[in-house]
Amino acid sequence: MAQIDITHSPKRGRNREQNRGTDALSRLQETGRFALELEAVSRHFGALVALADINLAVRAGERRAVLGSNGAGKTTLFNAITGDFPPTTGRVRLFGEDVTTLPAYERIRRGLRRTYQISLLFNGLSVIDNIFLACRGVGRGRFSLLRPKKDDGAMEMAETLLHAVHLDDRRDTMVAELSYGQQRQLEIALALSGAPRLILFDEPAAGLSPTERTELVEILQALPEHIGFIIIEHDMDVALRVAESVTMMHNGRIFKEGTPEEIENDPEVQQLYLGQDYTAQDRTGGSRG
């Protein structure tokens, strides 16, 4: 069975800090070690400032959660990164390359993927056909109308991704017949097609049952190490279990950054976002998206 692409997989252990070289070469390569760098990014919609002066650096392979109340600017941040809505000012770098003026498809070519807050699937097609089309769409021969052969590389990849998102027993089910949670799992498979290096997940747990949330966490935790992601999540339980770093947004600005523990225990965060009666024992949160 095909593996999820590991072409860009660096040789390193889970303890990423151990790999921080201090020699001249690694300093020279410093820029290339970031999957994403935002420099003074802002986005205006008329008079509304949806993003203001965002500076953000995400290392290759890093898993980061973005938290913040409704309207904080989280999805706008994703739109600025993907190019769906380019920034009004500022620079966006992907894997060391300035992509500020590049269209979304050029960013996809460089390994960027995203899922949306609203489902975008082909309802009249089966699960495997949805994944196959995504795999075909990012590879050579994407305009071929021929039925795939058994040994088609895209089909092999599709089967692997089907398994990665725990949908083996739904392989030939029409998307319209899937549960909501299964549809969100399918979206993750689509985001994994090709050779993703950084995936932006926009509230993947919204509307999921507790069991489906647990499954989502398992799927995200099992992704290959070289695939970094940024996850927008209102459910603290999900966010803090899958992320190693957290960015809190408020009113279009970055309000706090830290480890999940630092964010969880920060009094200002608790007051602003979680409610004053928040305690670490009571962090099921629930979706507000």
Ligand X SMILES: Nc1ncnc2c1ncn2[C@@H]1O[C@H](COP(=O)(O)OP(=O)(O)OP(=O)(O)O)[C@@H](O)[C@H]1O
Residue 75, phi-psi category: left (phi > 0), alpha (psi -120 to 50), beta (remainder): alpha
Range 45-74, binding Mg ion (CB under 5 A): 74
Q: Residues 148, 115, 29, 14: what is their CA dihedral angle, to the nearest 10 degrees?
A: -90
Position 183 contacts Mg ion (CB under 5 A): no
Kind plus residue range of the DSSP H or E element containing 52? strand 48-59
The item of Mg ion, ligand X, none sharing an interface with residue 48, based on CB under 5 to 8 Å by kind, is: ligand X
Range 29-48, binding ligand X (CB under 6 A): 45, 48
Residue 69 to residue 106: CA distance in whole angstroms:
31
Least Å from the CB of residue 50 to ligand X: 3
Position 75 contacts Mg ion (CB under 5 A): yes
Residue 55 to residue 255: CA distance in whole angstroms:
11
* 52 or 154: CB nearest Mg ion: 52
Q: Which residues contact 73 (CB under 8 A, 6 or more apart)?
A: 43, 50, 51, 249, 251, 252, 253
Range 67-86, binding ligand X (CB under 6 A): 68, 70-76
* 44 or 171: CB nearest ligand X: 44
* 4 or 50: CB nearest ligand X: 50
Angle at 52 between CA 51 and CA 57, to 5 degrees: 85
* 170 or 234: CB nearest ligand X: 234
Least Å from the CB of residue 232 to ligand X: 7
Strand, coil or helix: 254:
strand
* 116 or 122: CB nearest ligand X: 116
Q: Exposed e or buried b for every residue in 47-73, given b needs 16+ CB within 10 A?
A: eebbbbebebebbbbbbbbbbbeeebb
Position 289 contacts ligand X (CB under 6 A): yes
Range 104-123, binding ligand X (CB under 6 A): 117
Least Å from the CB of residue 286 to Mg ion: 16
Q: What is the DSSP letter of 149?
A: P
Position 224 contacts ligand X (CB under 6 A): no
The item of ligand X, Mg ion, none sharing an interface with residue 22, based on CB under 5 to 8 Å by kind, is: none
Position 50 contacts ligand X (CB under 6 A): yes
Binding footprint of Mg ion on the chain (CB under 5 A): 74-75
Chain residues binding ligand X by CB under 6 A are: 45, 48, 50, 68, 70-76, 117, 289
